[in-house]
Amino acid sequence: MQEHLNDLKEIRSLMEKSSKFISLSGLSGIFAGAVALLSAGVLYLKKVNAVGSYKLSGFYIDRSTDASYLEFLFLLAVATLVLAIGGGLFLTWRKTRKSNQKLWNPLSRKLAVSLAIPLLVGGVFAIALVLNGMVRLVPATTLVFYGLALINTSQHTYRDVYSLGLCEVLLGLFALFVAGYSLLFWTIGFGVLHIVYGVSMYYKYDRKA
């Protein structure tokens, strides 16, 4: 009986490997979370230097944000995105290499497309908010669209990604109602949740590889 159960588990494992991209690295989640926390810390210190107060107001986004702050925010966002994606790709590539697989294959292409569409739409939406003077809504909006992207992607990879996406969406929706402090919730979503997810993924899947 036990032998049959083991055979069924093996068959299930093989079917999962053939239908889902399971080479996502938990370390990439930890790295992305660390980058987000670092970026939030840099932005917090810049705001504190401007107002001279080490309070929660360091995470507060004013309604009338000046052009220099917006420029700094944009450059920091681009740097954060490039560093997080670059690090994530490298760590995932390293995991695929250890398991003698290719990073770019039909499964990873499906995953990339399902992830990219909501992210691109969210990016355009965020730019429109900035151009219309609603910068305070941008952090919450990026959380929502990022969460939707993860939910959309979860059909092609680990189910854990769905749970992370759902948490990001709920956090983003809540942040929309306290828009001034949406940067604080962005830090929790992209920083803390990513690290918790990455640690969980690492202990559940990476150490077995």
Q: Which amino acid is at 196?
A: V
Cβ-proximal residues to 65 (8 Å cutoff; 6+ apart), any chain: 73, 135
Helices 160-176 and 193-204 cross at an angle (nearest 10°) of 170
CA–CA gap between residue 119 and residue 151 (Å, rounded)? 12
pTM, 2 dp: 0.82
Residue given tokens 């992207």 in the structure block: 149
Kindly report, residue by residue over 67-121, the tens digit of the pLDDT: 777 788 788 888 988 898 888 888 878 877 776 777 777 777 888 888 889 999 9
- Give the model's pLDDT for residue 176: 92
- Give the model's pLDDT for residue 12: 47
- Give the model's pLDDT for residue 58: 59
- The full set of domain ranges for the chain reads 26-208
CA–CA gap between residue 199 and residue 30 (Å, rounded)? 7
> 114-138 burial, b if ≥16 CB within 10 A, otherwise e?
bbeebbeebeeebeebeeeeebbbb
- Give the model's pLDDT for residue 17: 47
* Distance set, CA 126 to CA 65, 68, 77, 123, 209 (Å): 15, 18, 12, 5, 38
Query: How much of the chain is helix, strand and coil, in % rounded to 5?
Result: 85, 0, 15
- Give the model's pLDDT for residue 136: 85
- Give the model's pLDDT for residue 199: 92
Low-confidence stretches of the chain (pLDDT < 70) are 1-23, 50-60, 62-66, 99, 207-209
